[in-house]
A and B are shown apart, each in its own frame.
Chain A
Amino acid sequence: MYELGSIVKNIRSKNAGPFWVTIDIFCLDAESLKVILKKIDVDLISTIFKINKRKIKIFKIDNLNVIKISFPRKVVQGHMNDRDMHGAQYSLLLKEFLL
């Protein structure tokens, strides 16, 4: 068992406007992107982030070996129930995900 974060260059997350969060997984190379993409699907993202599957978008950016995951924030930025104004901690849940 090892953390996803240990086999990629970096994983970061940030708001994309007040209503969306976007997570970028920077893979080491094309081969590793292919392997990781097999493990990261909407079902997994939906389980980790408790988001409806239909709302999750996953992009593959080949020239950068990046997997991008975007979904609407469950709690809008700055709402009384928001805990992280910039959405930068969401990435940790993927970084620490055990493969």
Chain B
Amino acid sequence: MKTKVLVPSGVLGLGFDIKAFEKGLKLSPDVISIDGGSTDSGPFSLGTGTSKYSRTSIKSEWRTLMIARHKLNIPLIIGSCGTSGTDNMVDWMEDITLELSKELNQNLKIAKIYSELSKEKLLENYRNGSIANLQPKIKINEKIINNISHTVALAGIEQIQAAINTRADIILAGRTTDTAIIAALPILKGSNPGISWHGAKVAECGALCSTEPTSGVVMVEFYHSHFVIYPLSEKARCTPETVSAHMLYENANPFILFEPGGYMDVRNANYEALDNKKVLVKGAKWIRDKSYYVKLEGARISGYQTSSLVLLRDENYVNNVEQWTSKLKSFLNKEIKKRMNLASKDYKLQFRHVGKNATLGELENKSSYPNEVGVLCIITAKNKELSVEISKLINPFLLHYPLTKNEELPTFAFPFSPVHADRGALYEFSLNHKLKLKDPMSIFKLVLNEINNV
């Protein structure tokens, strides 16, 4: 028994080595699996239900994968469609797939897995005690839940396997764990779950587990009690070190990985180089939980932002920038109160000194005087109009505010017209929780769509 999973790259939209991918196809994989998302770039994608990658990139890479799938007649699986895996992004991915199926003249059976939870469903589960905290604890209540724009549950292997069992050509999954789309088939075919989850974790970012991280393509061969992993790019190599090091990546605990239904423990894993490219791995264990939990992700609007940038080049201002913004801030707070009749809780005015400590803030321990400083002014208010209005109010003071009373009115550098950029809604991750399910499929929806173009 052997299951070969071809992983073209860590995420669709990032690009991969085409030659390496073609080499992988020649090795007769049983499935092509690729991740479509992450929370990497922050809460915006989930909050708005939009993709962080361009549709053009996604479509062009998906075309390559659809052609390969058709040629080999094997399933193609994508998880976390459109970055956040919201329901509308599963449909977005389906639109792209339908367009391509027409252009490529392909008949297709598509299985879609929807993993979004409605507010009502989330509230119901909150009220009946099925939602538990993860660490660190994030406060939730009914008001917060009511304000969440999108909530998704991370699917595991059970939901992907249900889709595989429909014999679909293409599986478009909403939010899933990065690993589940790789581990689902080998476990279905009888490989040890600990081994399968481990192999999936190593391969989830494509060639990041090799010496050439950007080459993308890796193959994982799953056997009953071990897996073998290797990159397909000419120059890339997997070594016991590069493979085992991947458990460290974006993982708070290097030995344990929680997944729907349990966790994987790699403390007894053993890594052995088969040749200068391939690594054989065994020893990981899967520990099943008594209850089946899925992790939840949610994002809500926490305000509306505008930002302005003013550049200080005058040496006196550069050297006294903290004093300048501190005086300016208290002056502006008074002006905002006086002119707009706003209380300080209605808005937030932030200054960051680019060139000094904008990156690390209070943690910065270096202090030197640069040639110039960019003062980034960020306004967060409860609605868009207010945020823009405050930006406009402070605009002339940003440009001319003097450090001392008796000096000639200074004028600083604005690089943009208009000065402020309307950044729209600011989203905030609002859930760090897990949801208990009696039946793994209960909150997920599996929908089939058969397309005949030929």
Contact = CB atoms under 8 A, between A and B. Distances in A.
A48 B43 CA distance: 27
Contacts of A85: 41-42
Interface in A48-78: 48-50, 55, 57, 59, 61, 63-64, 66, 68, 70, 72, 76-78
B106 interface: no
Nearest to B248: A24
Contacts of A92: 360
Contacts of A76: 138, 428-429
B190 interface: no
Contacts of B365: 93, 96
A80 B428 CA distance: 8
A84 interface: yes
A38 interface: no
A64 to B, nearest CB: 6
Contacts of B432: 18-19
B72 interface: no
A83 B352 contact: yes
A65 to B, nearest CB: 10
Tier of interface size on chain B: 35 or more
B303 A80 contact: yes
A70 B241 contact: no
A78 B248 contact: no
B241 A64 contact: yes
Interface in B327-369: 348, 350, 352, 358-363, 365-366
A83 B358 CA distance: 7
B254 A61 contact: yes
B252 A63 contact: no
Contacts of B428: 76, 78-80
B249 A84 contact: no
A78 B253 CA distance: 22
A51 to B, nearest CB: 10
B359 A83 contact: yes
B429 A59 contact: no
Given A72-B136, A77-B429, A18 B39 contact: yes
B254 A59 contact: yes
Contacts, number: 102
Contacts of B397: none
Given A64-B241, A80-B302, A83-B358, A18 B429 contact: yes
A86 B405 CA distance: 42
Nearest to A68: B254
Contacts of A55: 136
A89 interface: yes
B287 interface: no
B245 interface: yes
A92 B252 CA distance: 18
A55 B136 CA distance: 9
A92 B428 CA distance: 26
A21 B138 CA distance: 16
A64 B426 contact: no
B251 interface: yes
B40 interface: yes
B250 interface: yes
Contact of A78 (B43, B250, B303, B348): B43
Indicate the member of A48, A59, A63, A78 with the most B CB atoms within 10 Å.
A78
A89 B360 contact: yes
B249 A78 contact: no
A50 B429 CA distance: 22
Contacts of A19: 134, 136, 138, 429, 432
B135 A57 contact: no
Contacts of B363: 48-50, 90, 93
Contacts of A48: 363
B255 A59 contact: yes
Contacts of A70: 252-253
B16 interface: no
Given A15-B40, A89-B359, A22 B251 contact: yes
B248 A66 contact: yes
A95 interface: no
Interface of B: 39-44, 134-136, 138, 240-241, 244-245, 248-255, 271, 302-303, 305, 348, 350, 352, 358-363, 365-366, 378, 380, 426-429, 432
Interface of A: 14-20, 22, 24, 48-50, 55, 57, 59, 61, 63-64, 66, 68, 70, 72, 76-86, 89-90, 92-93, 96
Given A16-B251, A64-B248, 11 more contacts: A15-B250, A16-B252, A18-B432, A19-B138, A48-B363, A57-B253, A63-B240, A68-B254, A80-B378, A83-B358, A84-B360
**Nearest 10 A-B pairs (CB), nearest first?**
A78-B42, A70-B252, A72-B136, A16-B252, A78-B43, A20-B252, A18-B429, A24-B248, A85-B42, A16-B250
